[in-house]
């Protein structure tokens, strides 16, 4: 496989984490414009873990994902009781706070005579773990997709279990769900925490792939794209956000459209949302598919 | 009859001579105009031709296209004696790290023997980090492809990899020399007050690692430091601090939009330092257009000025291709000439079979360069892949950039 | 103390702009219950159309003003149709994300025609500095504050003293009942959108003449400031929008002086976050208002 396809696939894989993260929150009925905050937190934490403290990659990714998950849980406690617009804007505010914090954050350690570490808006360079440890592009791609498949597997498993039903119920009507005896607040907080962890895992992989991270990479655009992938691809299944991510990369990041990409992407999203407000693979479509697949036991 | 025969012979001889001469001329014209040579050496350019910073990529591309067109008039002699054309493909990296990573990988898959870009410093940070740090290191799986960049100015980019080379102005040297000049021209200055665009990598890094260091080294005392963001439009608070400090020197490390914003505010509050110093990237037509009056007298070191006939020719030719020439894109012309020279000196062949060797020859050729001929003088090359370009100190006078110090 | 006062004055000057932008935003949010994230981009499109006219035809400032208002209204109409009217009534998430998609689209359209980062804009009047005692005032700044006050006052009168305004208020309180009473909903919604666009266009024009330059990041900037300004003094009220803008300006100016630019933005977003989460009635809301807003916010 040539290195161009490898890099495109790697990008798709990493951004998929962010898309899945935003998707989970969409399922509980919340539009989060701020998942990039957890992406960023984990990117920095895991990069510091390998570059400054010499951790192995798996441990660094773990630290990153955990720190993202904890932050997400903490943030969700005050914000999840906010309705629609207020929640979305609060998540955007938090993400901007993190980004602005990174513009200020400076922590450098001397390694081999050179100062290494995040340096505010100048960025954090030298995250060369995968090159120093002779990871090939194919091996890293396998790592990305390995992690992604584990996450997808988990989500599909939950999708078909009681947990999935609870999450979707919460998204559809919180009051009714409470009446069923379910602790809606707990459901939402746990979902947000898990969503943060997923975003975090992607963030750690991202930082090591790029070898450099800077606050300018984690702006609102990233978060909004993540949400729109879920809304385009469909909220009916875990494959929805993945479809959305794929569509963006395949059709729009190709050279043909590059100058008009935003115009076309923006137009498509707006038009699609008129006809399919819950995306291509929305619940209605999934229901029809499941009906067709179910063989009637009486004939 | 005898007369006729003789004159006929003379006529036919003359005719033959004319025909022979004509065919010589025609064959020269055909050979010179042969833009479709069989052998094509592929080179790739990449930069932001879309997005907020698209002017950088558009200018770079225009200058590269003009340069390649010029070079292809005569062609390049390859290692196996064939006269070849340069075949330039330019890719859009959109100042976006994901797009740029895909683009650089795409370029490496093609037959391009060298890549020229990107234009955004942030993107360069990411891309160059993917390259093999040291050549021939067996346990470094980084990319192996030579890069010669013309625009990204952030400090320390070329030393990220031995495959990466830059032909950008050396801000470290330029600001050192600028303060030398300031000391001789304005001898009694003591204090400086700085204003910095803090959320942009280049303006922040150049301030803290270059300008401030040199200002302190030359014995000036800092009396304040104001900050603002790239998107700010109101500078009254910062200006009042400038007004309070009454510093001799005001240093603005920011790009044209906010530079002009703060300067307009300074003009409004009638703050006039003895000398106003700016960031290299702001010595551009954009500043001259945006704040003609407010920026009067701002002094900036730069590496491009249409001071030589060649420089002026480049400006004309780039304009035909739809681009402007400034200190960033001027280097693109020089880079095309460097590529041509290395191809001829190291015997690069340019066939798909010889791709790996050609790329290695290009890298080694770039590393071995001690000096190159630039648009405005000789450019010395340094050990870590950077350039020491001839510099000028320019001032905005009456809406035009004028050279106030030409050490070349 | 003088410094603090001077900072406040500077804050008032920029706050006037924030107030105007927030005013338009609030109208759409309050009456149409619609979060139009493409508001800033519509204004930017309008302002840059004015610049285009200026560059190509050397028009008088009056005509440039007219073009700006016209294009902003047209862009606003386009957004209103695509992201609001044609979407199903309950699809709030879709409306918000759709408007963000169009935000990206309009931003890109501007960038294609205007590749440079910023462009000069003709001045309305020579910016003079007036000294009242030790305090510095800008002539243009005062003019803008006056215009802002006049516009806000006009809107207020319009809403409370005209039949159309009454209809608008009715729609904002209860859309269903309004329909029953025979109010022409489409007309009211269209009217609100147009009024908001006009206000935005005026604000954009004033800002451009005051700075004498406009950058292609203008749209994003307007949207952020409007969101924060609107929230700080209690969402959904005219008084809130104007006050919120002024408060934001004053807070920014003071945090800029005492803390520096990096912290200034951080403080704005932190306040934004805190107000959203803890003080839904805004910084100035009474205890009763806080409770009422909290109910709305927590859904």
| Bond prior to B118 in cis (omega within 30° of 0) | yes
In this structure, chain B runs to a length of 408
Strands B83-92 and B298-302: unpaired
Domain B40-168+307-376: give its CATH code. 3.40.50.2300
Say what the pLDDT of residue B34 is: 47
Whole-number pLDDT of residue B69 = 93
Q: Mutate which of B55, B89, B98 to disrupt the A interface (most A C-beta within 10 Å)?
A: B98
Q: Among B331-335, C72-76, C86-90, C169-173, name the one with the lowest average pLDDT.
A: C86-90
Task: Tell me the average pLDDT of chain C.
Answer: 85
A45: domain CATH number?
Answer: 1.10.3470
Using CA coordinates, name the residue in chain A closest to C226: A89
Q: Is residue A299 part of a domain?
A: no
Cβ-Cβ contacts under 8 Å between B and C: the total is: 84
- Spatial neighbors of C173 by CB under 8 A, at least 6 apart, are none
By the 8 A CB rule, do C103 and C40 touch?
A: yes
Residue C80 belongs to a domain: yes
Phi, psi of B18 (to 5 degrees): -65, -45
Domain count, chain C: 1
Taking the CA atoms of residue A54, residue A59, residue A62 and residue A67 in that order, the dihedral angle to the nearest 10 degrees is: -30
Report which of A232, A222, A25, A13 is spatially closest to residue A138, judged by C-alpha positions: A13
pLDDT for position B3: 47
Contacts of C117 in chain B (CB under 8 A): 52-53, 55, 255-257, 286
Closest residue in chain C to residue B199, using alpha carbons only: C262
Q: Is C11 in contact with C243 (CB distance < 8 Å)?
A: no
Interface residue A82 vs chain C (CB under 8 A): yes
3-state secondary structure B70-130: HHHHHCEECCCCCEEEEEEEEEECCCCHHHHHHHHHHHHHCCCCCEECCCCHHHHHHHHHC
List CB contacts (< 8 A) between A185 and chain C: none
Q: Is the pLDDT of residue B243 over 50?
A: yes
Chain C residue whose CA is closest to A87:
C276
What's residue B258's pLDDT?
Answer: 93
Pairing of the two strands B378-381 and B387-388: antiparallel
Q: Does the beta-carbon distance from B51 to C111 stay under 8 Å?
A: yes
Instruction: Answer whether residue C296 is part of any domain.
Output: no
B74/chain C closest Cα distance in angstroms: 34
Q: What is the mean pLDDT of residues A110-119?
A: 87
**Is C217 in a helix, a strand, or coil?**
coil
In the beta sheet, which residues pair with residue B166?
B149
Touching check for B163 and chain A: CB below 8 Å? no
Q: How many residues appear in chain A?
A: 299
Q: What is the mean pLDDT of residues C120-137?
A: 81
With contact defined as 3+ CB pairs under 8 Å, the chains touching A are B, C
Query: In the prediction, which pLDDT does B313 show?
Result: 92
Q: Which of A44-48, B121-125, C21-25, C140-144 has the lowest mean pLDDT?
A: C140-144
Cβ–Cβ under 8 Å, residues B68 and B336: yes
- In a domain? residue C279: no
pLDDT band of B7, cuts 50, 70, 90 = low
The total number of structural domains in chain A stands at 1
Give the residue-averaged pLDDT of A171-192. 90
Q: Is C283 within the bounds of a domain?
A: no
pLDDT score at C123: 84
Residue C186's domain is classified under what CATH number? 1.10.3470
Nearest by CB to C266, from A97, A262, A266: name it. A97
**Among candidate residues A127, A165, A103, the one with its CA nearest the CA of residue A47:** A127
Q: Is residue A18 part of a domain?
A: yes
Highest mean pLDDT: which of B52-56, B164-168, C4-8, C166-170? B164-168
Question: Looking at the predicted structure, is the pLDDT value of residue C235 above 80?
Answer: no
ipTM over cut 0.90: no
Closest CA to B262 of B228, B302, B215: B228
Q: How far apart are CA A274 and CA A255, in angstroms?
A: 28
Q: Look up the domain containing A129 and give its range.
A: 3-293
**pLDDT for B2:** 44
Answer yes or no: is pLDDT of A168 > 80: yes
Expressed as residue numbers, the domain containing C31 is 2-274
Q: Give the Cα separation of A72 and A25 in Å (integer).
A: 11
Q: For residue B84, list its beta bridge partners.
A: B76
- Does residue B8 have a pLDDT over 70? no
- Measured in degrees and rounded to the nearest 5, phi and psi for residue A43 equal -55, -50
Least CA distance to B127: which residue of chain A? Answer: A210
Q: In what order do the strands lie in the sheet with B76-77?
A: B76-77, B83-92, B40-47, B115-116, B147-149, B164-166
How far apart CA B165 and CA B185 sit, in angstroms, is 35
Residue from A1, A4, A202, A263 to probe the interface with B (highest B Cβ count within 10 Å): A4
Q: What pLDDT, on the 0 to 100 scale, is given for residue C291?
A: 63
Please give the C-alpha separations between residue C147 and each of C63, C69, C70, C132, in angstroms, as whole numbers: 19, 16, 19, 21
User: Which class for B297: exposed (0-12), middle (13-18), buried (19 or more C-beta within 10 A)?
Assistant: middle
CB proximity B240 to C under 8 Å? yes
CB spacing of B122 vs A215 below 8 angstroms: no
- Taking CA atoms, A63 is separated from A97, A110, A218, B140, in Å, by 21, 22, 19, 25
CA dihedral (C150, C155, C160, C163) positive or negative:
positive
Alpha-carbon gap, residue B230 to B256, rounded angstroms: 10
> Residue A225 CA to chain centroid, in angstroms?
10
Q: If one looks up domain B171-302+393-405 in CATH, what number appears?
A: 3.40.50.2300
Evaluate whether residue C295 is within a structural domain: no
The upper half-sphere exposure of residue B223, i.e. CA atoms within 13 Å in the direction of its Cβ, equals 16
DSSP A98-157: HHHHHHH-B--EEETTEEES-BGGG-EE---HHHHTT--HHHHHHHHHHHHHHHHHHHHH
Distance CA C185, CA C167 (A): 9
With respect to residue C44, please indicate whether it lies within any of the assigned structural domains: yes
As separate numbers, helices (DSSP H) first and strands (DSSP E) second, chain B gives 13, 16
Give the Cα separation of C289 and B51 in Å (integer): 44
Instruction: Please indicate, yes or no, if residue A212 is contained in any of the structural domains.
Output: yes
Pick from C1, C7, C5, C40: nearest CA to C256 = C7
Within 8 A of C120 by CB-CB distance, chain B residues are: 289-291
What's the pTM? 0.87
* Model confidence at B1: pLDDT above 50: no
Cβ-defined contact of C14 to B231 (cutoff 8 Å): no
* Averaged confidence pLDDT in chain B: 88
Whether pLDDT at B363 is above 90: yes
> In this structure, what is the dihedral angle of CA atoms B59, B39, B105, A121, given to the nearest 10 degrees?
-30
Q: Residue C181 in 3-state DSSP?
A: coil
pLDDT, residue B33, reads: 47
What value does the mean pLDDT of chain A take?
88
pLDDT bracket for residue B25 (50, 70, 90): low
Q: Is residue A298 part of a domain?
A: no
pLDDT at B364 over 70: yes
Specify if C261 maps to a domain. yes
User: Mean of the pLDDT values across residues C121-138?
Assistant: 81
């Amino acid at each position: 496989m040539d290195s161009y396809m490898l890099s495109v696939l790697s990008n798709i894989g990493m951004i998929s984490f962010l898309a899945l993260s935003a998707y989970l929150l969409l399922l509980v009925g919340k539009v989060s414009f701020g998942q990039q905050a957890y992406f960023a937190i984990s990117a920095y934490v895991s990069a510091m873990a390998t570059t400054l403290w010499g951790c192995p990659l798996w441990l660094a990714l773990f630290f990153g994902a955990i720190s993202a998950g904890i932050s997400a849980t903490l943030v969700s406690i005050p914000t999840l009781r906010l309705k629609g617009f207020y929640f979305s804007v609060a998540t955007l505010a938090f993400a901007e706070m993190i980004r602005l914090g990174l513009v200020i954050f400076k922590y450098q350690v001397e390694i081999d005579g050179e100062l290494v570490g995040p340096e505010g808006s100048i960025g954090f360079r030298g995250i060369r773990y995968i090159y120093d440890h002779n990871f090939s592009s194919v091996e890293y791609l396998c790592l990305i997709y390995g992690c992604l498949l584990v996450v997808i597997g988990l989500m599909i498993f939950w999708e078909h279990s009681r947990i999935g039903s609870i999450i979707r119920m919460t998204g559809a009507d919180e009051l009714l769900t409470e009446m069923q005896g379910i602790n809606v607040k707990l459901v939402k907080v746990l979902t947000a925490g898990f969503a943060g962890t997923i975003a975090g895992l992607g963030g750690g992989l991202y930082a090591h792939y790029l070898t450099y991270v800077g606050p300018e990479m984690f702006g609102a655009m990233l978060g909004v794209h993540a949400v729109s992938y879920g809304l385009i691809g469909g909220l009916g299944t875990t494959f929805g956000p993945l479809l959305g991510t794929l569509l963006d990369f395949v059709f729009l990041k190709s050279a043909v459209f590059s100058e008009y990409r935003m115009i076309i992407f923006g137009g498509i999203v707006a038009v699609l949302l008129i006809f399919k407000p819950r995306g291509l693979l929305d619940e209605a479509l999934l229901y029809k598919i499941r009906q067709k697949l179910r063989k009637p036991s009486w004939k | 009859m005898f007369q006729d025969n003789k004159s006929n012979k003379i006529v036919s001889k003359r005719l033959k001579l004319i025909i022979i001469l004509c065919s010589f001329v025609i064959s020269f014209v055909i050979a010179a105009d042969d833009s479709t040579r069989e052998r094509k050496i592929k080179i790739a350019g990449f930069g932001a031709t879309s997005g907020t910073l698209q002017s950088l990529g558009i200018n770079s591309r225009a200058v590269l296209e003009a340069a390649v067109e010029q070079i292809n008039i005569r062609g390049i002699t390859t290692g196996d004696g064939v006269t070849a054309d340069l075949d330039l493909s330019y890719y859009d990296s959109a100042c976006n790290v994901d797009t740029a990573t895909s683009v650089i990988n795409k370029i490496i898959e093609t037959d391009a023997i060298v890549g020229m870009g990107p234009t955004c410093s942030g993107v360069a940070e990411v891309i160059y980090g993917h390259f093999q740090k040291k050549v021939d290191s067996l346990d470094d799986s980084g990319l192996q492809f030579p890069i010669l960049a013309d625009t990204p100015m952030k400090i320390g980019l070329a030393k990220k990899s031995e495959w990466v080379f830059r032909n950008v102005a050396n801000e470290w040297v330029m600001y050192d020399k600028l303060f030398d000049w300031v000391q001789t021209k304005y001898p009694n200055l003591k204090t400086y007050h700085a204003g910095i665009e803090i959320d942009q990598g280049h303006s922040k890094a150049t301030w803290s690692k270059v300008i401030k260091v040199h200002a302190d080294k030359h014995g000036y005392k800092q009396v304040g430091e104001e900050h603002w963001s790239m998107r700010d439009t109101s500078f009254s608070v910062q200006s009042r601090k400038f007004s309070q400090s009454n510093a001799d020197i005001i240093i603005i490390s920011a790009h044209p939009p906010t530079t002009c914003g703060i300067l307009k505010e300074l003009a409004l509050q009638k703050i006039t330092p003895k000398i106003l110093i700016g960031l290299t990237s702001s010595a551009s037509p954009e500043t001259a257009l945006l704040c003609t009056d407010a920026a009067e007298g701002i002094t900036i070191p730069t590496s491009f000025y249409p001071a030589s006939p060649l420089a002026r020719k480049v400006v004309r030719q780039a304009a035909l291709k739809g681009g402007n020439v400034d200190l960033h894109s001027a280097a693109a012309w020089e880079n095309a000439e460097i590529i041509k020279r290395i191809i001829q000196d190291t015997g690069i062949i340019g066939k798909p079979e010889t791709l790996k060797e050609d790329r290695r020859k290009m890298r080694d050729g770039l590393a071995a360069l001690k000096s190159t001929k630039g648009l405005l003088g000789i450019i010395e090359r340094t050990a870590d892949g950077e350039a020491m370009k001839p510099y000028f100190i320019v001032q905005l006078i009456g809406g035009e950039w004028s050279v106030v110090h030409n050490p070349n | 103390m003088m410094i603090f006062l001077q900072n406040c004055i500077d804050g008032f000057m920029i706050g006037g702009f924030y107030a105007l932008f927030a005013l338009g935003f609030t109208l759409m949010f309050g009456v149409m219950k619609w979060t139009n994230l493409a508001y800033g981009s519509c204004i930017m499109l309008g302002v840059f159309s004015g610049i285009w006219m200026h560059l190509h035809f050397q028009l008088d400032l009056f005509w440039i003003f007219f073009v700006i208002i016209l294009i902003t209204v047209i862009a606003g109409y386009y957004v209103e149709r695509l992201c609001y009217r044609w979407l199903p009534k309950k699809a709030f998430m879709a409306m918000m994300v759709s408007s963000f998609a169009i935000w990206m689209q309009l931003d890109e359209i501007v960038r294609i025609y205007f590749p440079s980062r910023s462009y000069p804009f003709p001045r309305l009047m020579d910016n003079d500095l007036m000294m009242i005692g030790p305090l510095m005032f800008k002539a243009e700044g005062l003019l803008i504050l006056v215009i802002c006050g006049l516009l806000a006052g006009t809107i207020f009168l319009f809403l409370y003293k005209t039949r159309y305004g009454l209809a608008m208020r009715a729609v904002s309180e209860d859309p269903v009942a309004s329909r029953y009473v025979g109010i022409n909903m489409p007309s009211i919604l269209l009217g609100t959108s147009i009024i908001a666009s006009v206000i935005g266009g005026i604000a954009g024009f004033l800002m451009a003449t005051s700075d004498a330059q406009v950058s292609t990041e203008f749209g994003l900037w307007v949207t952020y400031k409007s969101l924060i300004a609107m929230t700080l003094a209690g969402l959904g009220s005219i008084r809130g929008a104007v006050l919120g803008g002024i408060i934001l300006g004053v807070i920014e100016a003071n945090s800029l002086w005492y803390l520096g630019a990096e912290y200034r933005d951080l403080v704005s977003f932190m306040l934004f976050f805190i107000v959203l989460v803890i003080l839904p009635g805004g910084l100035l809301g009474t205890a009763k208002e806080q409770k009422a807003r909290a109910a709305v916010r927590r859904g």
